[in-house]
Amino acid sequence: MKAAAIQMISTPRVDENLMQARALVAQAAQAGAELIALPEYFCLIGLRDNDKLAIAEPLADADHPATASTPMQHLLAETAKEHGIWLVGGTLPIRAPDSDKVYNTTLVYDPQGRRVARYDKIHLFCFDDGERRYDEATTLRPGDEPVAFTLTDRSGTDWRIALSICYDLRFPELFRQLGAAQPLDLIVLPAAFTDTTGKAHWELLLRARAVENLCHVLAPAQGGRHENGRTTFGHSMVIGPWGEVLAVQAEGPGIVLADLSLARQQQVRSQLPALQHRVLHAG
């Protein structure tokens, strides 16, 4: 199956970001991608952290997302249907009931434009090095449920896919839990890694998660200098089950394409049956 990670440098203007996202998805679909993933906050990186609160949407009905209050969800559903692709919609701010905060949410749509999965970011980023400070808990409510779903590709083959977002990458127990009942074939991780943490840990952690789970990783990211002065690390990647980087783009908007192979994954797992050798299990 061919997969694509979309890289963007999102702006404070939602319409502009949605237009660019739609164009990049179309480009990836024309190149043959069956699964396409947008980056975290593809819809908006505001001048202030709380700008996301103003554009937050209620969660749309899964079968009828076309309402005036959910235009971003409608666009994702229509884009998936238009191109006949599986679309991982980066992340959107989704209103949290009885709260002035929002969830940072990944929504997945099938080739018919139906929402098939929702994941709310569990681990909220916090960082302070004396020069830069981030604390997502000031605007976000954390999710509490790990999510994986099954994708059936055009050949009729099923893929078990885990959803995760940015800072989740640092918590290997999340992926162990997701793969406990059934081994994962792919981890999808939309991100907006800071330049500082990205230079130090982004590729290292992505490859580690691939090696630990002997599965593929698809990591679309924000990549460049934003209007609020923040620089995101980029380096959107597709990684194979042996930890090899199959494709990468360092900076700037674009698409990162690669072929994912379950045959290669099975070969790796046969040669190194580490998943069968686990002795300690969570719970």
Beta carbons of 112 and 65 less than 8 angstroms apart: no
Among residues 40, 43, 101, 136, which one is catalytic? 40
Instruction: Note if 40 is an active site residue.
Output: yes
Instruction: Note if 34 is an active site residue.
Output: no
The token pair at 11 is 């702006």
Beta carbons of 265 and 246 less than 8 angstroms apart: no
Q: Is 272 helix (H, G, I), strand (E, B) or coil?
A: coil
Closest CA to 216 of 207, 229, 225, 226: 207
Among residues 43, 52, 101, 166, which one is catalytic? 166
Among residues 57, 101, 121, 136, which one is catalytic? 121
Structure-token match 């050949």, residue found: 155
Closest CA to 109 of 92, 125, 96: 92
Single-letter amino acid, residue 55: I
CA atoms within 13 A on the CB side of 167: 16
What spatial distance separates the first Cα and last Cα of the chain, rounded to whole Å? Answer: 34
d(CA 210, CA 218): 10
Instruction: Note if 121 is an active site residue.
Output: yes
Give the strand pairing for 216-219 and 186-188: parallel
Sheet holding 245-249, edge to edge: 148-152, 158-163, 186-188, 216-219, 236-239, 245-249
Catalytic residue ranges: 40, 121, 166
